[in-house]
Chains A and B, each alone.
Chain A
Amino acid sequence: MTALSRARRRLYWPFVAPATLIYVAFFVGPAIASIWISLHKWRGAGDEMDFTGAANYKRLLEDDAFKDSFANSLKILVICGVFIFALAFLMTIVLREMKSRKTVRALLFFPYIVSPVAIGVGLGLLLDPSGVVNGVLEPVGLNRSWLAPDHIFATILIGIIWVTTGFYVTLLMAGQERIPAYFYEDATLAGANRWRQFWHVTLPMSWDIVTVAAVLWVINSLKIFEFIYAFTGTGDSPPSEARTIPIYQFLMTTGGRNPAYALGYGCAMGVVMIALVTVLVVGLRRVMRREAVHF
């Protein structure tokens, strides 16, 4: 054994333990506690915990409001996901040969880092029936009541796509930039147009990043909360058309005009979210698994 590996062995726990302890105590521990609490009926500290077994999960299956929220979460995941990735792929094709692509990329990216609360507040005012957006769209006949119950969820979907696309453009472009230029030169010589180049060069050669981006989207899309909360107003709870799992969980625990403090029930929703993320991520990785292309 060398001096180096001896030193490493001695320092292993002092280096690793602090991070592990905090992580376990304040993140993993609570996640496990969530499972335990979800088996109870409980209003929070001061209230007797009442063991009810799987009752909260049974209730989830029967609760239409939860089913609607669950469906909305999946809609965000799928519909926004399709649009975001389609747009991001198109952008990478278009941007690849643009001189100002770094500037464009930076400007597309910036909504992603602005506080969702600020964006929600600003958009709410922009989309007033007599607001700026309708003022611009009226001449082309696209004006509508963006915040009305019939449209609000579609508006939220558009908002999420707008905020998030820049992030995935950035990721996919980074994957593209790592591909050596001569692949594209060869493809051009062989007479491949941009679309074929994308299909036969870009996509296969940045597949690992595409996979990572897809996994990130699955995880992030299910957590979206602030944007919807600030967007649908703090005057009242978000309407049922705009509720997602995180929003519904908030309403059933400490949020809304009449907080229900159903903490056990809220935890059951959290556990469902972990299960959902796990299933989707594992499934996605399996579907997207492919021999890595080496270059």
Chain B
Amino acid sequence: MRVRNIVAIAAVAALALSGCGSSDSGSGGDKELTYWSMWKPGEDQQKVLQSAIEGFEKSTGIKVKVQWSGRDVLKQVAARLNAGDPPDLTDQDAGAISGNLGKVDGVTGLSDVYSMTIEGESKKVSEVIPEGLVKAYKTKDGQPFVVPYEVIGSTMWFNAAANPELATNPPKTWAEFITVLDGLKAKGRTPIALDGDIKFYDAYWTTWSIIRHGGIGLLPKAATDKTGATFDDPAFLKAAKDVEQLIKGGYLVKDFNGTKWPAQQNAWAGGKTPTDLLLMGTWAPSETGPQAASGFKHRSFPFPTVEGGKGNKAAEAGVIGFAIPKKAKNADAAKKFIAYFLNKERLAKIATDAKNLTPRSDVAAPAELADYQKEVSAAGSDLFLPYDDASAIAPEWATNVWEPANADFFNGKLDAAGFVKRLKDETIKLGKQ
């Protein structure tokens, strides 16, 4: 009993004494490094990173303590950051890093990593990572805080083995797209696969349509406009009308909102539902690969263009990359690892083994992503981030306004005009709070 008592008193004393933890930056000659990753054991990227870590340990003698945390890794890092004991290295979607850690000044500027020479090569990091990919992710003093190793974006997926006509002659405009859908529907198919319980996936359709009609930057502008006036831009209603056509036209797979992800995307890949198209991130081939029917060929085409649209050239390209939290004890070792992993041969495994696109232009895209790579390079600098970055800029808006409105729209509770009106009204309301 006395022991408990002492613990309690110690804890209370700790509370009284603790202020903000002092921050000490990494010193050279680190012998170990803690890495918390967004991947879970068994995922392709995890396997690639694991083998790189083993190589890194052997060649440098630095021990890497790795934790495969999964997608919520940044919440864990944020909690540890507050506790003064963050990991030395973490990774996630750059927008998520910005929202979870960047906003509270919890990341280290990585200019010195960009000027490091990549292990085993003569090139510097800055020479192989296009600057445009990280321009949105800078610390207060202007340093980039993310080093990307994977480029991700959403695009329209299909099985080239089952639908060869889509490979040779993909629909380019919205009208052509609807014609394709009608053709498939006439064959008794519900062409569009969608895991509707993930509101993010519903919103792919609306986001893309808004980008095509109104151009990049319109959605975040509307999200942060407290007067709601931005939603009066005709692009919103036009976009909503296009999506409404899909929802009401019977093109969506039956029960799309009654299953639990990943049931629908797996059924699409496995040929268990009469579906052909999946608007999904570039991780689709790696996620659905194990469930795919034999002979399945992942190919993609860009979201169709619209008449008079301001964003017809745009492509979605976000990045997944490394970041080093503030107060990391072994920041130098973490930097060394980043420069080690970006080596062409090692990074190439992200393309070959994990079937994803890397930021290095000298690493060939996997066959599945060749279409997407073309889409991105055709877009030039017209690249946008997931949700057009609105979720990182206004997280409460995304959770309380954008996602529920999209869910109701897809579940037939709102028509196109109602959807835009709801977005506008709720945005004004949120602005007042």
Show the binding face of A for B, using Cβ within 8 Å.
17-18, 21-22, 25-26, 43-47, 59, 62-65, 124-125, 128-129, 145-151, 232-233, 235-237, 239-240, 251-252, 254, 256-262
Contact = CB atoms under 8 A, between A and B. Distances in A.
Contacts of B255: 129, 145, 148
B400 interface: yes
B429 A128 contact: no
B257 A257 contact: no
B257 A149 contact: yes
Contacts of A21: 5, 8-9, 12
B258 A148 contact: yes
Given A235-B197, A236-B200, A128 B259 contact: yes
Contact of A260 (B263, B396, B403, B411): B396
B260 A62 contact: no
For chain B, give the interface size range: 35 or more
Nearest to B430: A63
Contacts of A261: 78
A122 to B, nearest CB: 12
A146 B82 CA distance: 41
B4 A128 contact: no
Nearest to B391: A258
B202 to A, nearest CB: 10
Given A150-B411, A237-B399, A47 B104 contact: yes
17 contacts: A18-B4, A21-B12, A46-B82, A59-B433, A65-B400, A129-B255, A129-B259, A145-B255, A145-B257, A149-B408, A149-B411, A235-B262, A239-B404, A254-B78, A256-B399, A257-B399, A258-B99
B73 interface: no
A65 B392 contact: no
Interface string B76-98: 00110110000000000000000
A257 B200 contact: yes
Contacts of B198: 235-236
B75 A254 contact: yes
B288 to A, nearest CB: 15
Interface of B: 1, 4-5, 8-9, 11-12, 20, 75, 78-79, 81-82, 99-100, 103-106, 195, 197-200, 254-255, 257-263, 391-392, 395-396, 398-400, 403-404, 407-408, 411, 426, 429, 432-433
B183 to A, nearest CB: 26
A78 to B, nearest CB: 24
Which 4 pairs of residues, A with B, have the shortest CB-CB distance?
Answer: A145-B258, A258-B395, A148-B258, A45-B82
Given A25-B11, A252-B396, A235 B82 contact: no
Contacts of A65: 400, 404
Residue from B9, B12, B198, B396 whose CB has the most chain A CB atoms within 10 Å: B396
Nearest to B104: A46
B407 A62 contact: no
Residue from B9, B254, B433 whose CB has the most chain A CB atoms within 10 Å: B433
B399 A235 contact: no
B340 to A, nearest CB: 31
A256 B391 CA distance: 12
A contacts with B: majority SS: loop
Given A25-B8, A25-B12, A146 B429 contact: no
Contacts of B263: 128
A46 to B, nearest CB: 6
Given A44-B82, A254-B75, A62 B433 contact: yes
B8 A18 contact: yes
Nearest to B20: A46
Contacts of A43: 103-104
Nearest to B254: A129
Given A46-B81, A128-B259, A259 B12 contact: no
Contacts of A44: 78, 82, 104
Contacts of B407: 149, 239-240
Given A25-B12, A59-B433, A65-B404, 5 more contacts: A22-B4, A46-B20, A237-B199, A239-B199, A258-B398
Given A251-B399, A260-B395, A148 B411 contact: yes
B404 to A, nearest CB: 4
Nearest to B407: A239
A292 B11 CA distance: 45
Nearest to B425: A64
Contacts of B261: 233, 235-236
Contacts of A252: 396, 399
A254 B72 CA distance: 10
B195 to A, nearest CB: 8
Given A62-B429, A148-B258, A236 B197 contact: yes
Contacts of B398: 257-258
Nearest to B95: A258
Contacts of B408: 149
B399 A233 contact: no
A259 B75 CA distance: 8
Nearest to B195: A235
Contacts of B106: 46
A260 B399 contact: yes
A258 B399 contact: yes
A150 B411 CA distance: 9
A62 B432 contact: yes
A146 B395 CA distance: 29
B383 to A, nearest CB: 21
B181 to A, nearest CB: 23
A64 B426 contact: yes
Contacts of B404: 65, 239-240
Contacts of B399: 237, 251-252, 256-258, 260
A147 B260 contact: yes
Contact of A147 (B20, B197, B262, B391): B197
Contacts of A257: 200, 391, 398-399
A57 to B, nearest CB: 11
Nearest to A148: B258
Nearest to B433: A59
Contacts of A237: 199, 399, 403
